[in-house]
Amino acid sequence: MTAALLVATALMGLAGTAAGAIAPVRFRIALSSALTIAACALGFVVGAEVLHSGHAAVVHTTTLMPLASFSLALDRFGALFVVITAVVGICAMIFRFGYDGQGLASRTASSILPLFVTSLLLVPAASNVTTFLFLWELMAITSLLLVLTDHARRSEVQVAGQWYAVMTQLGAAALILGLVLLATRSGSQSFAVIAVRSAHLPAWVRSTAFVLAVVGFGSKAGAVPLHVWLPRAHPEAPGPVSALMSAAMVNLGVYGIVRVGMGLLSGGPAWWWLLVMGLGALSAMFGSLHSATSKDLKRLLAYSTTDNVGLMLLGVGASGLFADTGHRALALLALVAALLHVVFHAVFKGSLFLSASSVHQAAGSTDLDQLGGLLRRMPVSGPIFLVGGLAIAALPPFCGFVSEWLLLQSMLHGLPSGDVAIAVAMPIGVGVLALTGGLTAFTFTKAIGIGLLGLPRTQDAERAGEVGRPMWIGAGLLAVLCLVFGVAPFLVIPSVVDAAGAVPGLHLAGALTRGWNVALPGVPGMLAPGLVAIGLVGFGGLVALGRHLVQQRPVRLTEAWGCGRELQTARMEYTATSFGEPLTRVFEDVLSPARDVDVSHLAESRYYTEAAVIHTTIDDAFERRVYRPADRMLVRWGAVARRVPNGSVHRYLAFGLVALIVVLVVLA
């Protein structure tokens, strides 16, 4: 039953691809989006059914690919990711009905987009190495093509595409090496067989495979230092694509690390997980710092994705570390926290990216310094962004709060365990979580304060209006989920616990939810998000009531963030750059911003200034220190290597002769 539905999902996605390729222009978007929504709906049903029943959906055929079988087996762990992708996919496709920007209506994009969504849905189901790598590459290449949709009009898109192509293919190379090493050493390419036999493999094989998998999956997840494609590709991709990439594709990097590290290799030594935690901590801090200082809305969101992936990896690493030291309950708790963060991140980041695209369409820019006053002009999309921002800042009663609370609890409760690695790693993890929490709150205060409140800074922002209904419905559905999951996390936690329980060696001592509340089995601690929400609403009501009763004077209404002045202009407002300035100064060593001050004087006297403009640009430190030098070195080597083939036929023939001799000597 589920197997047939899984096949139907794939076929429906392919039908969407065909529709995008051959349907007449008038029906192209409608037809391909509708079929993709259908594919996502089928995927949702399969995933939900597998999560509910625990019976894997298995599809196996030997005729689809030569020399290897095409094999899908969706277990509970994979099903969770399928469900996430399906929900984000449905919302992104609804959004697409109203979205007309960045060339997404073209024939190529319309046919590639369903294929991308389908590959996202199927990757977590792949159950042998060939199938996995095939679907993984399909996902990488289709997403690359979608990033490049608008390449003809803007050169930045081409640069972004190049970065993405290089990073994703480097990651894929590491992945192929790692998985093929596992498959050849264990004598089978089936995940199930590898999982059984991997325990008997030599330690270096297991460790090499794991590190290669972390590199490969980390580059897809956008973990520092492999994140450099993310802040370039996400802003340049069309809205629904960037939402899908950030809310669904990035998750699969985390999926892969758990699948290989805990599934195929059944856990490993402490240093593996300290490595994962280290990457997570670095990503969380670096990502949140850069998102706090970015002034482009989509770049800010992209860096915040790196930040959140860091938190997920922190949870995964903590889980592996607990499992290695025998703390099973804590291991499951940390993994549940990480997976819950995957779910919630998909929900709030999806709504944020979609509503940022709405802002782009309405105001013609995502540069915060070109926006302002949009909350009043976009009465639906504005609040949607607000909800997403509150959720990502981990404020109750929205969902981000629950997962970050669980993550914090799982790490705090590891402290008394007495193990040295845990005793060192967990306080650092807690500190990172606290720092990134603060920075994220700062970031979204800036995004909302500068972008949505205040006065419009440009005429485009002044003229902005609410976007079409499909767009705010698509983003709004996800925003509603932010609130629902934040108030009633018991709706989703049991499924996540089931999914995490599918990972070998992890099982829970008791239920994680108790009525409306989140409880921690085996450790003290409990959270009642419902009560928190009621309390917040009650407190808000009391404050409003108190003000109403106390206030006698007439209320003076001016712009929020207007510093109480009347008759102010947009030029008197804070800009995103100036808001981030103190933070940029504090972290100057890490960010090393380049400041440029242009002062122009009056023609009559040098003592009077006509205008002063400050430009601050913040490059990515890894890009500047690691990738650019590596790039220059490769180009230099390339220039040397180009001198070797000089066009002489004889020289080329000599290459052949030398190669032949080398082969003979090696084989002899």
Partner 1 sequence: MSGSSYFSVLTLAAGTVLVCAVAILWLASIRAVISMVAVQGASLGLVAVVLGVHLHDAGLLAAAAVVVVVKAVVIPVLLGRASGSDSGSRESRPLVNVPASLVASAALIVLAFVTGRGVAHFVGTRAGALVPIGIATMLIGFFVLVARRRPTFQIVGLLMVDNGIALTAFLCTAGFPFLIELGVSFDVLLGVVVLMVLSQRLRLEFGDVDLDELQELHD
Residues that bind partner 1 (CB under 8 A): 642, 645-650, 653-654, 656-657, 660-661, 664-665, 667-668
Tell me whether residue 524 or residue 656 sits nearer to partner 1 (CB atom): 656
| Least distance from partner 1 to the Cβ atom of residue 641, Å | 11
What whole-number distance in Å separates Cα of residue 249 and Cα of residue 255?
10
Q: Least distance (Å) from partner 1 to the CB of residue 640?
A: 14
User: Which of 613/666 has CB closer to partner 1?
Assistant: 666
Residue with Cβ nearer partner 1 (27 or 652): 652
How many angstroms separate the CA atoms of 429 and 446, rounded?
25
Amino acid sitting at position 169: Q
Query: Least Å distance between CB 185 and partner 1?
Result: 28
Q: Which tokens in the block code for residue 464?
A: 């902005």
Q: Which residue, 603 or 644, has its beta carbon nearer to partner 1? A: 644
In the complex with partner 1, the residue whose CB is nearer, 511 or 661, is 661
CA 128 to chain centre: 25
The order of strands in the sheet holding 513-514 is 513-514, 517-519, 526-527
Please say whether the dihedral angle defined by the alpha carbons of residues 544, 547, 553 and 559, taken in this order, is positive or negative: negative
- Provide, rounded to whole angstroms, the least separation between the CB of residue 144 and partner 1: 25
Q: How far is the CB of 650 from partner 1 (least distance, A)?
A: 6
3-state secondary structure 34-82: HHHHHHHHHHHHHHHHHHHHCCCEEEEEEEEECCEEEEEEECHHHHHHH
Q: Which is nearer to partner 1, 543 or 653 (CB)?
A: 653
Residue of 82, 167, 87 whose CA lies nearest to 126: 82
Question: Taking the complex as a whole, how short is the minimal distance between the CB of residue 637 and partner 1, in angstroms?
Answer: 16
- For residue 537, the number of C-alpha atoms closer than 13 Å in the C-beta half-sphere is 9
Nearer to partner 1, 415 or 654 (CB): 654
Q: For partner 1, which is the closer residue by CB, 594 or 658?
A: 658
Distance set, CA 225 to CA 203, 287, 317 (Å): 26, 10, 17
Choose between 376 and 651: whose C-beta lies nearer to partner 1.
Answer: 651
Q: Would you say 560 or 661 has its CB closer to partner 1?
A: 661
Q: Which helix (H) or strand (E) holds 271?
A: helix 270-293
Which CB sits closer to partner 1, 526 or 658?
658
DSSP SS3 for 477: helix
CB of 653 to partner 1, least distance (A): 5
Q: How do beta strands 609-617 and 513-514 pair?
A: unpaired
Rounded to the nearest whole angstrom, what is the least distance from the CB of residue 648 to partner 1 in the complex?
5
- CB nearer to partner 1: give 572 or 663: 663
- CB of 151 vs partner 1, minimal distance in Å: 24
Do residues 500 and 336 lie in contact, with contact meaning Cβ atoms separated by under 8 Å?
yes
- Show the tokens assigned to 524: 């003290």
Q: Which two tokens stand for residue 201?
A: 């493999």
- Separation between Cα atoms, residue 366 and residue 231, nearest integer Å: 13
Helix (H) or strand (E) holding 4: helix 2-22
* CB closer to partner 1 out of 67 and 665: 665
| Contact of 219 with 170, CB cutoff 8 Å | yes
Q: Which two tokens stand for residue 593?
A: 């911003």
How far apart (Å, rounded) are the C-alpha atoms in residues 430 and 536? 26
Q: What pairing do the DSSP bridges indicate for beta strands 513-514 and 517-519?
A: antiparallel
d(CA 407, CA 345): 13
Nearest to residue 121, comparing CAs of 262, 275, 260, 14?
14
Both tokens of residue 149? Answer: 């949709």
Task: Centre a 10 Å sphere on the Cβ of residue 63 and count the other Cβ atoms it contains.
Answer: 7
CB of 649 to partner 1, least distance (A): 5
CB of 652 to partner 1, least distance (A): 9
Lookup: tokens for 328 = 């099973």
Task: Say how far apart CA 136 and CA 253 lie, in whole Å.
Answer: 10
Shortest CB 100 distance to partner 1, Å: 42
- Residue with Cβ nearer partner 1 (515 or 638): 638
Q: 3-class secondary structure for 81-145?
A: HHHHHHHHHHHHHHHHHHCCCCCCCCHHHHHHHHHHHHHHHHHHHECEHHHHHHHHHHHHHHHHH
Are the C-beta atoms of residues 20 and 28 closer than 8 Å to each other? yes
Q: In the bound complex, what is the minimum distance in angstroms from residue 668's beta carbon to partner 1? A: 4
Give me the least distance between CB of 645 and partner 1, in Å please: 6
Q: Which two tokens stand for residue 395?
A: 């404020």
Beta carbon nearer to partner 1, 153 or 643: 643
Could you tell me the smallest distance in angstroms from the CB atom of residue 659 to partner 1? 10
